[in-house]
Structure 1
Amino acid sequence: MAKKFPNPTPADAKWFDHQQLNFWLWACLRDASNYLDISRESDATFKAIFSSPIGINKEASERHGQLKNEQDLAAYHFTVTMGNLLRLLSRAQHLFPAIQPSYSQARHLLTEGKGLRDMIEHAHGNDGYLVGNGREQENFVRDDAPRPGITVDAISTIIDESGHWLGGRLCVEKVIEEVTPIYDVAREIPPPEEDGTA
């Protein structure tokens, strides 16, 4: 059984807690934006493959292959950064109560973020999801997510008119919408003094 720790209070906040809160909020938004930029470039390059009147554009095809790798890596970086942010926010909401309202409104992030991050981190290996193991194997593949008729696993991506759905369940654009207000509030919080007082 996991040891239960009491929630901290604002009096426990240190300068480092404040710095880490602002850093990981920024990192999550930066990695989300980076992923979306690469994804859009990849999509444009894919369209260019077939735009030539004389056949497939080989240069665009090679570039698309490179961008697809970059896109997959950026999605992984975003997912891991977001997962770390979630762990940090569960404590920071008690240290810095001003972020609590916007944190509690981040329903999509809170509902989908940790589960997806855990599955991504444990997808490979003898005990990984891809070989039929994993603690929540029944959730690794989802039907009808993000829309009816689509089946997708946690390491796939669906892009539709409403956004980029990692694992068919976590919309990157929605995460940006939910994290930005938390970051806006956090940047206005003065850092605690070294003795832990604000």
Structure 2
Amino acid sequence: MENRIERALSSYYIKKITVTQICQELEISRVAFYYRYRTREKFLADLVVKQLNKFLLSSKYGDLTRRVHVLIEAISENPIFWDNVARTIMHEPEAGRIIERGIYMALKIYAENRGPYSNSTLKRVAMNLHHTGFFWAHHGFREHPHVLFHVVEPLVKEIEQQAELIDHIEYPCLRDKT
């Protein structure tokens, strides 16, 4: 069901897709749609968060750096969908916050599975990934995915290195006093 909607959003700009069409694809009433999402833009943001989770939380792509690389390749192969995302964020700030929160939650789940992590670092990295990705999509740099990857790679590496860094910190209060 969501795949059909994703295909539609990959073929048509969001302004050409009506709530009625979305409701028919989802087989729900308009009332149920508006109760859950309120706008098409918030629906798109929710769909984007699910797509981000598919890439960022799937272990089949390897470490987080590789997952982000695969995500960027997918973005560059689907320009209309991501142009819809950029337009949505521009016109609906709440959608941008939903996407940023989705990135943060995916990073948090990834970090929790690796060991100790800094919550403030995850929030900063999620915000930077969101803003960098939006700038990249909005300003038409989709034909250069390697540029985006080189910009976000240090942010991703920082999360991967957190558990390693914490392992090497000495805590004076925990030393053996014998």
Q: Which has the higher contact order (CA 8 A, sep 6+)?
A: 1
- TM-score by length of structure 2 reads 0.32
- TM-score by length of structure 1 reads 0.30
Give the structure with the larger strand fraction: 1
Give the structure with the larger helix fraction: 2
